[in-house]
Chains A and B, each alone.
Chain A
């Protein structure tokens, strides 16, 4: 079993819909990252969080440490949000390495 599981693997939605992507992990962590991989391949960090909630524009990331679960929400989705969204965790404090999920491919249809 992977340490980091994402769901769904693929998601197709209409423009304007509210999107939720989930990430579950099985180990203790010091931080969780959400990244976006554009269709051309570029990878951009969206959020790094260790508790609570962060918001940037139409993107919101939440984490529940007790339940070992994080969600990434996109409000008023737009075709330019189409990308692969990747969850990654830093296992324990002082660890230099990230463990990555396999990603959720999001497609927003106009």
Chain B
């Protein structure tokens, strides 16, 4: 099992560009999450999904979009990148809401 995989590992974007951060899990988990981690701050939830076709906003959803067309994949889309979106992005998954979350290795994004 690969667990939770994320691509790319690192990306530099110019202001106004768009990109998709990919997240895939092979554990047949129902729940998937996108977090961002800024220096000195706790992880903040951007979006989450409780199953294929169902997504919901977290704490900091502005500037992002998600989709969940399959159980395995949960891509995060950034439209019109802004410097405030410079961060490290983590995808995570869990079988159920009450269970342990498994994290991907993260994507470091720099918006200049």
Contacts and interface: CB of A to CB of B under 8 A. Distances in A.
A30 B98 CA distance: 8
Interface of A: 2, 4, 30-31, 33, 35, 41-45, 48, 86, 88, 90, 94-103
B106 A96 contact: no
A45 B100 contact: yes
B106 to A, nearest CB: 5
Interface of B: 31, 40-45, 48, 50, 56, 58-59, 88, 90, 92, 97-103, 105-106
Contacts, number: 53
Contacts of B59: 97
6 contacts: A41-B88, A42-B103, A43-B92, A45-B101, A96-B31, A96-B56
A96 B43 contact: no
A48 B99 CA distance: 8
B37 to A, nearest CB: 9
A70 to B, nearest CB: 15
B48 A44 contact: no
B100 A86 contact: no
B105 A86 contact: no
Nearest to B106: A41
B58 A97 contact: yes
A71 to B, nearest CB: 18
